[in-house]
Chain A
Amino acid sequence: DSGVTQTPKHLITATGQRVTLRCSPRSGDLSVYWYQQSLDQGLQFLIQYYNGEERAKGNILERFSAQQFPDLHSELNLSSLELGDSALYFCASSVRTSGANTGELFFGEGSRLTVL
């Protein structure tokens, strides 16, 4: 158990719809990362938040957005869903100290999104 909790574990929806994925990081972790895992693209970094602020952006579509709340949980919003958005979405968190960020990430078990 990594300590990172993601809900829901599975989600089936239709094209054009909007969904929200939720992530609770490990206790004390300030950084949250979102990744998308698909068969053809592998693990793609989407976005990172640190203590409520966006810190880095990867291959995140404009239809997708995320935020991190004061209690440090994060939500990934996916809108105008397309068939190609079907994937496993992972949240990860990491320890952020006053010095170097070692970059080790702790992953949740993922939310599997199926768009029909």
Chain B
Amino acid sequence: AQSVTQPDIHITVSEGASLELRCNYSYGATPYLFWYVQSPGQGLQLLLKYFSGDTLVQGIKGFEAEFKRSQSSFNLRKPSVHWSDAAEYFCAVGGNYGGSQGNLIFGKGTKLSVKP
């Protein structure tokens, strides 16, 4: 079955420190992978996506993620965290079924807190 696991429910980092949020997926075909961010009271905003090609993808707000097929992982990274990055982060997997589907399967999320 298709699934996404985010092992860390809550992470706290100091402002200026580096960040890595983990994501592992289980998917039968070539996955499309996404990271979304949700600020309190807001909807989900796309940070970055991977479809094919270069396994290191750059996103908005200085985030990047690396696709590792051998590890079924798509970890999100940022070299220096800002206080405004405090939010909940969701990893998601989807696929192309010739356009017949497009729904994404989401992990349970990782809540990021940033210490001053």
**A residues lining the B interface (CB < 8 Å):** 2, 4, 31, 33, 35, 42-43, 45, 48, 55-56, 58, 90, 92, 94, 96-97, 99-110
When distances are taken between beta carbons in the complex, the residues of chain B under 8 Å from A96 are: 99, 102
Bound-complex Cα distance A99 to B36 (A): 24
Expressed in whole angstroms, the Cα–Cα distance for A43 and B44 within the complex equals 11
B106 touches A31 (CB 8 A): no
Number of A-B residue pairs at CB separation under 8 A:
74
Interface, chain B (partner A; CB < 8 A)? 32, 34, 36, 41-46, 49, 51, 90, 94-109
The residue on A at minimum CB distance from B34 is A104
User: Looking across the interface, which residue of chain A has its beta carbon closest to that of B95?
Assistant: A103
Query: In the bound complex, how far is the Cα of B99 from the Cα of A104, in angstroms?
Result: 12
Given contacts A45-B105, A103-B95, contact A55 B43 (CB under 8 A): no
In whole angstroms, what is the CA distance A115 to B98 when docked? Answer: 39
> Bound state CA distance, A4 and B42, in angstroms?
12
Residues of A within 8 A of B109 (CB): 42-43
Contacting residues, chain B, for A35 (C-beta < 8 A): 106
How far apart are the CA atoms of A108 and B42 in the complex, in Å?
8
Q: In the complex, are the beta carbons of A105 and B104 less than 8 A apart?
A: yes
CA distance in complex: A55, B98 (Å): 13
- Assuming A100-B96, A101-B96, A108-B43, is B106 touching A33 (CB within 8 A)? no
- A11–B115 Cα distance when bound, in Å, is 34
Most buried by B among A33, A42, A97: A42
Q: Which residues of A contact B95 (CB under 8 A)?
A: 103
Measured between C-beta atoms, what is the minimum distance from B25 to chain A in Å? Answer: 13
Contacts of B108 in A (CB 8 A): 42
A55 close to B104 (CB less than 8 A):
no
Contact A100 B98 (CB under 8 A): yes
Inter-chain CA distance A31–B94, complex, in Å, is 15
A56–B106 alpha-carbon span in the complex (Å): 16
Q: Give A110 to B49 CA distance when docked, in angstroms.
A: 22
